[in-house]
Amino acid sequence: MASVPFTAWPEETREIEQDRAVFAPATASRLSALEWSIVAMAERDSLASLREPGRFAAALGSVFGLSPPNRLASPRLEALRRVAVHVWRNQWNVPKSELDAFVDTGFTLDQYELIQASIHKSRADARRRRAAR
């Protein structure tokens, strides 16, 4: 199932008080069509696709002709894929190192929140469709 791009928050920023912290949604966070396709593709990837194969796995792979999962050529898009895989599999539990790499490659935390919201909406829609059957 593919994820549909989640539209940006309304132009007026509404402040929501929750647990004595104030959050103001971002207005200019967007992803390109290519980036949304990476997020959708990440739904099918497992957490194992994020790990580097060990020596034993690499040796078995060379004997039996198995290859490790393909990494994306662009470090920026690979960081996006890695974060999206974590979000699809672990929801809000994304390792800080992955989030730091995501931001270091030029993405913003607003874009991260946009990905989170889009995947959450996609999951909720899928649950509603299953319940309606």
Q: Report how far residue 78's alpha carbon sits from residue 68's, in angstroms, rounded to the nearest whole number.
A: 15
**Considering the domain boundaries, does residue 22 fall inside one?**
no
Range of the domain at 70: 32-132
**Per-residue pLDDT tens over the stretch 8-43:** 544 444 444 444 444 444 445 799 999 999 999 999
Q: Is residue 114 one of the residues assigned to a domain? A: yes
Q: How many CB atoms lie within 10 A of CB 107?
A: 21
The type of residue at 33 is: A
**Nearest alpha-carbon partner for 120 in 1, 6, 31, 26:** 6
Number of domains in the chain: 1
Residue 14 lies in a domain: no
Query: Residue 68 domain-assigned?
Result: yes
- Asked whether the beta carbons of 105 and 79 are under 8 A apart, the reply is yes
Q: Parallel, antiparallel, or unpaired for β 16-18 and 21-23?
A: antiparallel
pLDDT in tens, 50-102: 877 678 777 777 788 776 666 788 999 999 999 999 999 998 889 999 999 99
Q: Is 9 part of a structural domain of the chain? A: no
Q: Quick check: is 87 in a domain?
A: yes
